[in-house]
Amino acid sequence: MLQAAITGARQASLIERPAPQAREHWAVVKITVAPMCTEYKAWLQGQPADHLGHEAVGEVVEVAQPGRVRVGDRVVVQPGYGCGRCRHCLAGDHIHCQRGSGPAQFYGQPLGTATYAQYLVKPDWLLSPIPDELSDELAGLALCGLGPSYGAFQRMRVTALDTVLITGLGPVGLGGVVNASFRGARVIGVDSNTFRRGLAERLGASLTLDPLDPELPAKIAAATAGEGVDAALDCAGALPAQRLLIDATRRRGQVTYVAEANHELPIRISPDLVRKGLTVNGSWHYNLNDYAGIGQVLQRSPTVAQMITHRFALREVQDAFATLAEQQTGKVLLLPWA
Ligand SMILES: [Zn+2]
Ligand SMILES: [Zn+2]
């Protein structure tokens, strides 16, 4: 089968690899859509990699034993490899499993882990069935498109009564705009990228702001009667955005971080937490029991399809990376069989 590899700085090409095979409860999925995520950063830096991607949708083409999927099933491939037995896996939070192991451990080699490829293998319980009404392309947004913000909004119980601040309007932040708008919440989006601010407005944001605008805090205050937003979500991962969440959220409000970052964020215990009564959450992906709810958003949101702005065949992966690096996109899809 074909899969993509990064071979140098701003260089990607296709390589041949043996297709993975089903074994025990691991099923083979023929990948029809591979949504692209942050892999272009490795392409920009020239970090060699031949197992790329963590988002995929496809069709089950081989099983080794009767189980939770059958040949012909259309499925969303959930990220990661939970053990299936620990408290987190049993609760639907396989993403937080500490004992999960992938094909490298189970098969003795890392074959079938990439999503920028034509086939993969996955434990059957991490293959979520796609409703007939939903296309493979839209179903692909049940991963890093709508997923992180859906998990965060469940955690913060975001409703139509809320004004939600979203920092960072890349694909994850844009998914947040769709999810918050679907819930009837009012959305304020922050990003320096004018293309993405415009797309956020088309997806339902009522106000978008530039983080470099010196009037930014005042404009958020003015939009919320001086109180601050009810809930805030960071999809930017940059320190000023992370700090803005704390400053722009009202007393007794909630903030959630979904963007990855390894630096420290200064928080003052009394003014920021104790006296403000603020709740601070970290959230990664979503609980598997929320998959059906995300399916409802995908089927009923009037704007969600506009999140997908570009499609490339797998053999065009070089052009796909170059396009992503320009940051004038919503979600970009790789199509391994186009
Ligand atoms: Zn587990
Ligand atoms: Zn992703």
User: Going by CATH, does the domain composed of 2-130+303-335 fall within 3.90.180.10?
Assistant: yes
The half-sphere exposure of 173 on its side-chain side, counting CA atoms within 13 A, is 33
Average pLDDT of the chain?
Answer: 97
Residue ranges, comma separated, of all CATH 3.90.180.10 domains in the chain are 2-130+303-335
Sign of CA dihedral 270, 272, 278, 280: negative
Distance in Å, CA 302 to ligand 1 centroid? 36
Average pLDDT over residues 211-237: 98
Average pLDDT over residues 64-91: 97
pLDDT category of residue 273 using cuts at 50, 70 and 90:
very high
Distance in Å, CA 85 to ligand 1 centroid? 5
Distance in Å, CA 109 to ligand 2 centroid? 23
Kindly report, residue by residue over 121-153, the tens digit of the pLDDT. Answer: 999 999 999 999 999 999 999 999 999 999 999
Q: Which residue has the higher pLDDT, 275 or 102?
A: 275
Instruction: Say how far apart CA 212 and CA 235 lie, in whole Å.
Output: 17
**Among the bound ligands, the one closest to the CA of 79:** 2
Output the pLDDT for position 100.
85
pLDDT category of residue 335 using cuts at 50, 70 and 90:
very high
Residue ranges, comma separated, of all CATH 3.40.50.720 domains in the chain are 148-282
Backbone φ and ψ for 33, nearest 5 degrees, come out as -140, 130
Distance in Å, CA 56 to ligand 2 centroid? 10
Please give the model's pTM, rounded to 2 decimal places: 0.97
Give the CATH architecture of domain 148-282: 3-Layer(aba) Sandwich (3.40)
Distance in Å, CA 293 to ligand 2 centroid? 19
**Among the bound ligands, the one closest to the CA of 143:** 2
Q: Do 38 and 147 form a contact (C-beta atoms < 8 A)?
A: no
Kindly report, residue by residue over 84-126, the tens digit of the pLDDT. Answer: 999 999 999 999 999 988 888 888 888 899 999 999 999 999 9
Kindly report, residue by residue over 276-314, the tens digit of the pLDDT. Answer: 999 999 999 999 999 999 999 999 999 999 999 999 999
Output the pLDDT for position 101.
85
pLDDT category of residue 165 using cuts at 50, 70 and 90:
very high
User: What are the strands, taking DSSP E only, across the chain?
Assistant: 2-8, 11-16, 26-35, 56-62, 74-77, 119-123, 127-129, 163-167, 186-190, 207-209, 229-234, 249-257, 279-282, 308-313, 331-335
Query: Element (H or E) spanning 160, and its range?
Result: none
